[in-house]
Structures are given as C-alpha cells and as structure tokens.
Structure 1
Amino acid sequence: MIKTTTIVAGISLVLLATACKTKDLKMNTEQKESVSNKKEVVYQVFTRLFGNKNTNNRPWGTIEENGVGKFNDFTDTALQEIKDLGVTYIWYTGVPHHALIRDYTAIGISNDDPDVVKGRAGSPYAVKDYYNVNPDLAVNPANRLQEFDALIARTHKAGLKVIIDIVPNHIARKYEGKNNPEGVKDFGADDDVSVEYKRDNNFYYIPNTHFEVPDTDKPLNGEKNPLVDGKFEESPAKWTGNGSRMAKPDRNDWYETVKVNYGIRPDGSKDFPELPVGFDTKSYQEHFDFWKGKDVPDSWKKFKDIALYWTAKGVDGFRYDMAEMVPYEFWSYMNSAIKINNPNAFLLAEVYNPKEYRNYIHLGKMDYLYDKVETYDKLKDIIRGKSLPDGLSNIKNGMTDIEHHMLHFLDNHDEQRLASPEFAGTAQKGKPLMVVSTTISTSPTMIYFGQEVGEAGNENGGFGTHSRTSIFDYVGVPNHQRWMNGGKFDGGQLTQSEKDLRDFYKRLLNFSLNSSALMGKFQEIQTINRQGTKKYDSGIYAFTRWSDTQKLIIVTNFSWLTRSNFELKIPSDIIKKWNLKDGNYTIKDQLYTKSSIHLKVLNGEGKAQISIAPSESFIYQL
C-alpha cells in the first residue's frame, strides 16, 4: 500500500490498444467526435531568457553582468527543434514594450522610475507601449519592431504559429505610446481627471490626491539611481492594477500598474450594452454583428485596435492576462472582431474562477482558459502527497461540456517549476503528471521552456526568488542553456538524464498530436479497479480514451518508490463500445521498449496483467 506521504512521483503507463487479431473495432455511431480533430501543443517561452548564454546569475545583475536573449536567438535551427518537440504554437512571453530599468533615451524612450518597476528587467505585465516591443530583445533597439517582424516570419516558416500577450486589465504606471498609429490617442489623453469615474475615461482616479510610492524593499537592491527617491509623480492618483483604490498602494498590490476602466462603475454595475439572453449559443459572427454601431467605452476601442494591429502583423493568437478582471461583454466585442479578421486565431485567457468559465467561453468567445484551479491543482496535490488521484475523474466529468476549452499545463511563468522541490521534487517525478495532463482530455497542452529538460528554477534573480524562473530579472536558465549549447540547440551539454527527459516529452507530445483517440471519448476505469482489484495501490489511476480507429488504456502510478503488479480490469460496457469479441489481443508498446502485453476478453470483460516500474511510461499499439 502506498502511503500518501510518498505519492510524489512516479510512473506512467499509456496503453494504446488496438487488436493484433483481425477485429472490427467500430465505435458506437451515436457517439460524436470532439470539436477538433487534433491536439494543439503550446510552447511558452520567456523571450528575453531563451537565448541568453550568460551563466553568471548574479542577483540584481545588469544586462552586462547576466546577459539577455534576443529575437535573433530564435534561429531557424532553434525553431525547428521546438517544432520537432511536438509543438504547434509558440507563446512569446514579454514581447510588448514594458517598463524596465535601462537607458534607451538615445532612441526616444523615456527612463522608467525604479520606484514603480518590479525588478531591474521589469514585469512583462506592466506594458508601456502597446504598439512596439521590448527594446532589450533587439540587437538594434531602434529597429526592434522590424526584428520582431522577422521573428514572426521565421516562426511561420518553421511551421509554427505565434501567440503574444495582451494585458487589458492594467498598463504600466508610466504609459507612453510613442509609436501610436495615426489617429490613435494615448491612454488617458482625454480623461476627465476631476472625477473618480466616467464611462469613457481610461482610468479610475482618486481626485485631488497625489500618488504615493508604497513601502517596499529598496528598489534595485539599494543601487544608486537618479530616479530612486521614494517618489513618483502621478496627480491625481489612479487606482492600482489589482483594483486597489488607495493613493498609496500596499507593497503586495500591483503598484507598478494602473487599472483600466471598461465601463464598470465603482459600485460594480455595468455602464454599457449587455448581451441579450441566449447569446451564449451564438457564433462569433453574430456577436460581431451585435456590436456594430453600439456605443461602447473608449477603452474597449483602444484594446480592439491594439489586437487588430498585431493580428495584421501576422500574430496568430493572444494570451490574455487576468481576463476575469475585465467584463466578458468586452471580450465578446474584441474577440469577435479578431475572429472576423482571423477565424483561426488562438485566444487563451487566464481565468481562475470555475463559476465564470462558461461565461468567458460562450459569452466572451474565448477559445481556451487555464485549467489551473481544478486539474493542475489536483495533480500538484497528488504528487505532493496531499491527495489521492481518484478525484481526477470527477474533475474531468464535471467539465465534459467545456473540456476542449480548458488548456492543460504543469509549468508556466507564474507557477513553481514542475521539477522544483516545492512542486514534484524532480523532473522524473513529474512524468506521471505530464502523461495524465496531456492525455486525459481533448484540450491543448502547454509546456514552459526548460520544463522538457528538467529546469527546477533554483536561481534567486534578485526581485524574483527560487522555484520560479524570474520574470523580473536578467537571469540565465541553466538546464535550458545546456540544451541550447551555445546556440547550437542540439542538447550537447545536457546530462544523459536530461536528454532522456527531453526524449520523453518529444515522444509524448508528438504522440498526442497524431492521436485520434485523444480527441475522442473518455471513460474512467478507476472505480471498478479500486473496488475489485488486488494490489491496485493508492497511487494508481486508470482511464480509457478512444475514437473510431484507436483505442487507449491509460494507467498511471503516481508513486515513485516501488514497482506495482496487478490485474487491470476493463469493464464490459467499454468492451461492448469497442466491439471486442472474446479472445486474446496483443497491445504493443510504441513509446519505449517495443514490448507487448496481452488483453484477454472473456465473457465480455477484459483483463490485462500490468507491471509498472517507477518513472516508466509505455504506449502500446497493434
């Protein structure tokens, strides 16, 4: 019996079952296929860290000390390696020009005040100019936009699609649109600052009150800087990005940003047209038609123009930061306009309230939301010994109607690294989580750069601390740098275990891209095995996936201590749905060992002898 305190890593067994005998495996005709015919895989990369070859990692280090990656580091070779990993989209995180501490006044960019910037490299979610890109990322900062245009072209040439961030809820405290297209006014340019709220103001104000810098640790770790004086000129003060209405925000507030006004009055009521009843079933075209001629708040128009600007440049989709802090009516307005211009746009939103999922999908016209607070959190609890895996089935079944819209991930810039001691403990122990996260639903899968080579986020960047790769500092990412191998992108400096891990990710992700069963039906076999199978240890979790042409049995052991040996039961209703007759079926591994096991069907029920070793995974196929 596996103790709950030891269920922190493990093994995964994926059995892709198709009969060796000549059998008719037709799926019941009344069962519909999923809304899409293939998996998508998103590779999130923190753009300024990807190509950085410098390994100093001095806390609070400058670019000269710690280095920084550039757009040009994404070479044809690098992009091809990412694609070959089993990726369809790259999310280039931190592209729009955000506040940072570096002097670019020679090219017309004002200096940012360290009193209202987090870290030295700055938060990518404090955007300073939406019509240009981060100058740190360019070899020639004056030509930074052209260098990003070239990256879009290279990415498309490699057969990949491009996602960037849009952060509609808040912008940098010092926003300066130096690159606005003709006719586009800056945020706040026409605001009436004498009142707290007006529908067409871009911000909320605290009239007749000056902004005060919060009580924080010394900016830049106490380094001398002419702008570090404990002051920042903002009068009247604006609401802070997380909604704080204090002129002096708390140190834990998003004090580097200001809240954007979308026509939500301070009492929470809506000051704009609302969608009619029944619009949750309408198409994006019908949503677009609804908003034609409607009088909407000015901030809506500004962000729609921003999105369409990047769409016109060839960006294939957007990841929306903290989308639930913006009303879903706005999302209907903007997303339908994006879809009119590009029906295949990939629209991903950070939403954490399960009660609002369907509103943001059906009314806000989002393609995908983070499946963080349910699947991700459950998997994290399992691997940390806080929960048994049985509840995964309830989560999956509870989201059956929207499962395809719930993007799965185990690692991103906000979360603790999968391989960190605070999460799975090692990359090897994260394997069963990755198999389940990838195969349990029809949703897209996302990985974060370095995850595939076991990056544990051990560095303290300065403002950012260990367990998360810092998004505020100039740092190197050690495991990723070993794969990068000085720009060869061949894994030449990886250890053997890191090479094996990347090979695991490569085979799993590519399998998911080509599996019709993973876009088909799901049924758990956990209950029947938990109740009636001897030696079915507490760390085991099993389910089935299938389509017309492919049948899968997926078995995962979240324990990493011992090998498990048991007889897996496949209930009669699944055997019937798969149209399997009594007999013996050979199911052969395609992922690892090329070994095979036997599925025996007798009296309409199936049984297979399973032997699962720690950290082992298989895909068996006829």
Structure 2
Amino acid sequence: MHTLSSNNKPQLRTSVLASALVFFAAGCSHSSTSIENHIAESEDKLHDTAQHNTSALTGKPVIYQVFTRLYGNTNTTNKPWGTIDENGVGKFSDFTDVALQDIKSLGTTHVWYTGVPHHALINDYTDYGISNDDPDVVKGRAGSPYAVKDYYNVNPDLADDPANRLNEFESLILRTHNNGMKVVIDIVPNHVARRYESIDQSSSLPSHRNFGQNDDTNVEYAKNNNFYYIVDQAFQVPDSHQGKQPLGSERHPLSDKLFEESPAKWTGNGSRLAKPDANDWYETVKVNYGVKPDGTYDFPTLPEGFNKKNPAEHYLFWQSQLPTAIPDSWIKFKDITEFWLAKGVDGFRYDMAEMVPVEFWSYLNSNIKHINPDAFLLAEVYNPSLYRDYIHLGKMDYLYDKVDLYDTLKDIIHGKTATSQIAVDQAKVADIEEHMLHFLENHDEQRINTTDFAGSPEAALPAMVVSTTISRSPTLLYFGQDVGEKGAENAGFGQATRTSIFDYVGVPAHQRWMNNGKFDGGQSTEAEKSLRAYYQTLLNLSHTASALNGEYFELDTHNRDASVATKNGYSDKLFAFSRYDENQFIVVISNFSQQEATDLTLSLPKALLKAVSLTDGVYKMTDLLTTEEQTEMTVNQDIGTISITLKPLQSSVLMIEL
C-alpha cells in the first residue's frame, strides 16, 4: 500500500516481438464490441474457450500489474492536480483484444488490475447515486486505490457509462480470459475509506451491510464492531502533508478542513489519535478483526500442527466453529471475495496483509480455495519473521520478496553491497522460495529509470535476469517498466520517481508504445523497443525453459573461493547459479558492472555435474537470451569450465538439453 506521496512502507516490511507484431498485423479474432455480442450469443462457449486459453501458458506465473486508470490514457497534458477532463483517464474498454494480446506477449499469465474496487475520489457522480467524497480525507484528485469506498462495485472513472460500470468490468474479465490470461484484483482488509458507503443494499445478508453500520460507537472495542472508536472525541483533519493542500489549494465546497466523524475512528495504520498525523493513512480507518486494543485475540486460534494442514483441512476447522465465534469483519470480507469470485475474478492481491491476524487469512483463504482451488493469492508482507506463518498457516500462495532480494538487488546497483548477498538472501528462503514473488517495480516502488534507483533501464537488466530466473517463484512486471518509464511527472499529490497512484496523469513511455491503441511501439524510441524485446524474451523463458521450475545450485561461493578465483576472473560484480531438471541444464551468469567487460572461466563443481549426470566431454551451450550458440562447457575429471566474455550489464542464460 502506498497512501502517502513518499515511500513510507514499514521496515517490517526479438523473435518474440516479431511474432507478436505478426499477430497484430493479422488482426485479432474479436473486437471489444464483438466479444460482447459473442457473449450474448453463447456465454457457455466463451467460458469453454477462456478455460482452454488460460491453460495455454505453462511454467512459472508472470504477473503483469496495470494501474487500470492510467494504462489506456492517451492524454499527454499532465497538468499538476489536473482534473479528469484536463489530464484524461484510462477505461476498462481500453483493454481491447490487441492490448491484451500485447500484454500476453510478455509471457503474462495473470493481469493484476490495480484500482478496480470503488475507492474515494474527487469527481461528481451524484447522478448515479454516489455521494461526493471530501478532499480533506482523499489523497490526490483521483484518490488512493487503497481507500475503498464500496467493495460491491467498481471505480466509476473506469467506465464509459458509470451506470453500467460493473457490467463493463465483467466484460473485461471475460475478455481477459478469452485472451488466455487470468484476473487478479486488490482486496484491502486492513482498512477502508474514511466514509465507506456501499450503495448496493440489494442483499438481505447482514454481512453485506456497510462497514460500521451496526457498530456500538460508545465503546472503543467490541468483537463485532467493524471499527475501533476514540470515544467522546470527534475526528480532526490532519495538517497538510509536505505543504500539499487538497487539490493543490483549488477552491472546493467540501475542502474546508472539516470532516464529520464522531466519535473518531482509529486510522488505517493504527493511529489512535482523533487528529492523525499528516504522515498517517488518514484517508482510511482501521478494520477490527477481533483483536482487542491490548493485542489479545477474541476469536478461535488454530490448533498446534495446522501449519502442516492443507486448505481443505483449514476450511473444515472453520466450518466447525460456532457462528458467534467469528467476528463480523471476517464474514464481511469472506462475502466480498465470494462476490468477486462469482464474477469470474481468479485471485486477489492483499494489501498490507501482515496488519491482519493470520487466523483470519486461514479462514478467508481456505474458503476461497474451497470455491476455486486454483485461485491466485498474493500478499504484501514485509516482515521476514512472518513469512512462514502467512504461507503455511494463512494459506497464502505468494508473498513479496521485498525486504531481502529486491533491496539487495537495488543495493548492488547502487554499489552498496556485493553480489554475494544474493546467495545469502536466496538461502534464507530456500524452504519457501517458490512462494516468494519477485519484482523490480510495482506501484509502491521507484521506477528503475530514475537516479534514485538505477539511472537507466539497462542498468537493472542483470538484476531482472537474476530476479526472473533464480527460483520457481512468479515474476511481477509493472506496466511501463518494459519500455523504461521514468515516472518523472509532477502529478500533484503523487511524488515523481513513482508513477502517481493518486492523480490523473499520463505515462509517457507507455503511451509511446501504446501508440493510440495500436500497441506497436509506433511512437517509441529504438532504445524503448529494444528494451521491450529483451523483456519479452526473458519473461517468456518462464514458460519455455523447464529448468526454471527445477532445482537451484548456487555457483557464487565456489567461484569466489581463493583457489578458484585466482584463475577464473570472477568478481564482486558477477553472480552465477545453475537451474536444472531432467530435461535441461541451465547456467545463468550476470555482469552487474556498468563499465567493465569481463573474461571469465566459470568453474562448475563435481556435485553439480553429478546431479545432472554430465560426464567428461565438451558440451555446446545455447544462450536463451539470444537463441544463438554462445559457448562450450568442458567437463574434465569431474570439474566443469565455461569460458565466456560478458560485456557490461550483460547476462547469459546458457542451456544444454539433457
């Protein structure tokens, strides 16, 4: 979650290109309109087709994160604090078949549509029964996607017809499926918008009522209250954050430093002040999960040994509990996820999951897996001491590998640490490595192409190769990363170096690639097109190189050994490892130096050669990043050697078919 204009995360916390262009030139089988007509004619047939297509990609998952309101926006005005009319906004309908096939060409298996649930924003939709939001408790003009206002509908900004917005998103779900990918959306259980107000009250279920609707506001805490209360004190709007006034000091009838909330509620990050600090998540309120103010629990805990139980056993445990034992907030979020699963959503990304007790995740995720065993469940967790509990007890599929691998790769690029730390980080998660999602960009982090990160897109390519190939875990790619987006716009509330998630803004490098909906790079620079082709080749290895789902063997320590290093040219700017299965043997070597080429004779120890049954001889190796025969590996007396020259920032993924 990124609810401030600075990164204030808790410290816990071109063959491919050519084939894609051939596809586009030939034309896609369905336009957006024709898909909807096809659905009306034969919905069952479309679902059958979708099921077939989403099974087409095998291997490691590749998650393509789009900030939905920014992705299709072609407006280049980029006025600070610009309105939706001035700066434009992307729509669900911008994800045409051409756009979706372009996304898929990057090896994508899952599209994470960020910012879909209806969140607080500054725009007038009262004609559609939606109340106006107060700029004093909204960050930016477009609002934070992590201040959800209505979990039973979608952001009206994203619809061509706001009255039909939910149907438009359902059409996008079907369109995504029909183009061979699955759909992930955000769920934010830790907090909701300061004024949560679902307008869909058609359900008779009490759990579908608005959060806080039945709360006893005379007490700080009650088990079935959805919020915590600061009794006898009214909420006060915080002082401005870094001098940033709501809407850039524009006059607005609701921007008066007043917001009616009495009694005040705890703020989303846990602040118990009636007047939270400007650095707090003041636009949100903390959800109560049956955790008392003193930290003790008011709900059943999992029995000993449940870290070894499967989701079905967790589901049965919660089914055996008395209904009165389960806090109301748990039931509300269970019903919310069931609502979206019924719409065809294939999984969820959970914001700040570590701020919610692990027992709730067991309850929620086991229910989701009961409905859809293949659901994709990704959690934002920054505390390494909690990783295993949230995987084994909370039944998460994947967690962010931020605190170790991401931070290490960034430090290597900055010259703050040696590449040897990569092996240390990988060893820390050896037992859970397939659950640790890897990324170099997402909506919270600085863009690679900034001086605060790498200074150029190319400077991070060795890190991206390592991140993508070192384990069986999924890879996340943030839209615009593949064309070197800078995120340099002064958007308003959002801070440059990160593409703003709070404002209406364009994404220039992505817009050049998008080329007014053609997605052919018609306005891109040659460097941008070359970068994207590299990303396509690399990420598609996830599906074509079976060894990347196999075993890992670290080669760094062996090649740094004094008896070896004096002969082989290995240095602190290099990192090497092997991946293998019964069909392929791969050696990955990356040169992180931005200035120096290296002549290297990499040494492969006996234990590795024995594991893959390579005997004495000479083996030709193909570089999967160039598809050209690159070099040879010689095995002599149970020791392997590979002689190779690596240019600055060059990586090689060398493969032998077994």
TM-score (norm 1): 0.93
Contact 1:411 1:417 in 2 (8 A): yes
Residue aligning to 2:284: 257
- How far is the alpha carbon of 1:593 from its aligned partner? 6.1
Quote the Cα distance in structure 1 between the aligned partners of 2:422 and 2:327.
42
- How far is the alpha carbon of 1:160 from its aligned partner? 0.3
Match of 1:479 among 486, 509, 529: 509
Report 1:30-45 matches (<5 A). 38-45=59-66
- How far is the alpha carbon of 1:513 from its aligned partner? 1.7
- How far is the alpha carbon of 1:581 from its aligned partner? 1.3
- How far is the alpha carbon of 1:250 from its aligned partner? 0.1
Q: Which 4+ stretches in 1 moved above 3 angstroms? A: 617-622
Contact 1:196 1:205 in 2 (8 A): yes
Quote the Cα distance in structure 2 between the aligned partners of 1:423 and 1:198.
45
* Matching residue's letter, 1:112: D
Residue aligning to 2:87: 66
- How far is the alpha carbon of 1:37 from its aligned partner? 7.4
Quote the Cα distance in structure 2 between the aligned partners of 1:590 and 1:260.
48
Residue aligning to 1:608: 642
Quote the Cα distance in structure 2 between the aligned partners of 1:596 and 1:144.
52
* Matching residue's letter, 1:209: Q
Quote the Cα distance in structure 1 between the aligned partners of 2:361 and 2:652.
42
Instruction: Say whether 1:159 aligns with 2:159.
Output: no
- How far is the alpha carbon of 1:595 from its aligned partner? 3.4
Gaps of at least 5 residues in structure 1 are: 1-35
| CA-to-aligned-CA distance 1:27-66 (integer Å, 9 cap, x gap) | xxxxxxxxx9720000000000000000111110011111
3-state SS, counterpart of residue 497 of structure 2: coil
Quote the Cα distance in structure 1 between the aligned partners of 2:410 and 2:653.
24
Gaps of at least 5 residues in structure 2 are: 1-56
Residue aligning to 1:87: 108
Residue aligning to 1:185: 209
3-state SS, counterpart of residue 427 of structure 2: helix
Residue aligning to 1:124: 145
Residue aligning to 2:405: 375
Residue aligning to 1:470: 500
Residue aligning to 2:275: 248
Report 1:54-453 matches (<5 A). 54-183=75-204, 184-216=208-240, 217-294=244-321, 295-453=325-483
Quote the Cα distance in structure 1 between the aligned partners of 2:441 and 2:586.
26
The 1:327/1:181 distance shift into structure 2, 3 A limit, reads: farther
* Matching residue's letter, 2:90: G
Quote the Cα distance in structure 2 between the aligned partners of 1:299 and 1:596.
58
Contact 1:521 1:546 in 2 (8 A): yes
Contact 1:262 1:300 in 2 (8 A): yes
| CA-to-aligned-CA distance 1:10-41 (integer Å, 9 cap, x gap) | xxxxxxxxxxxxxxxxxxxxxxxxxx972000
Residue aligning to 1:569: 603
- How far is the alpha carbon of 1:560 from its aligned partner? 1.2
Residue aligning to 1:508: 538
- How far is the alpha carbon of 1:516 from its aligned partner? 1.6
- How far is the alpha carbon of 1:198 from its aligned partner? 0.4
- How far is the alpha carbon of 1:288 from its aligned partner? 0.6
- How far is the alpha carbon of 1:572 from its aligned partner? 1.1
Q: Which has the higher helix share?
A: 2
Residue aligning to 1:20: none
3-state SS, counterpart of residue 515 of structure 2: helix
Contact 1:69 1:137 in 2 (8 A): yes
Contact 1:88 1:161 in 2 (8 A): yes
- How far is the alpha carbon of 1:590 from its aligned partner? 3.5
Contact 2:590 2:649 in 1 (8 A): no
- How far is the alpha carbon of 1:419 from its aligned partner? 1.8
Of stretches 512-521 and 328-337 in structure 1, the one that deviates more from structure 2 is: 512-521
Match of 2:525 among 488, 492, 495: 495
Report 1:507-546 matches (<5 A). 507-531=537-561, 532-533=564-565, 534=567, 535-546=569-580
Instruction: Say whether 1:582 aligns with 2:612.
Output: no
Contact 1:165 1:319 in 2 (8 A): yes
Contact 2:142 2:504 in 1 (8 A): yes
The 1:368/1:160 distance shift into structure 2, 3 A limit, reads: same
Contact 1:529 1:569 in 2 (8 A): yes
3-state SS, counterpart of residue 595 of structure 1: strand
Contact 1:537 1:564 in 2 (8 A): no
Quote the Cα distance in structure 1 between the aligned partners of 2:377 and 2:544.
22
* Matching residue's letter, 2:256: D
Number of matched pairs: 587
Q: Which has the higher contact order (CA 8 A, sep 6+)?
A: 1
3-state SS, counterpart of residue 516 of structure 2: helix
3-state SS, counterpart of residue 651 of structure 2: coil
Instruction: Say whether 1:455 aligns with 2:485.
Output: yes
TM-score (norm 2): 0.88
- How far is the alpha carbon of 1:181 from its aligned partner? 4.3
Quote the Cα distance in structure 2 between the aligned partners of 1:257 and 1:473.
17
Quote the Cα distance in structure 2 between the aligned partners of 1:167 and 1:87.
24
- How far is the alpha carbon of 1:251 from its aligned partner? 0.2
Instruction: Say whether 1:597 aligns with 2:631.
Output: yes
Quote the Cα distance in structure 2 between the aligned partners of 1:85 and 1:339.
28
Quote the Cα distance in structure 1 between the aligned partners of 2:370 and 2:544.
29
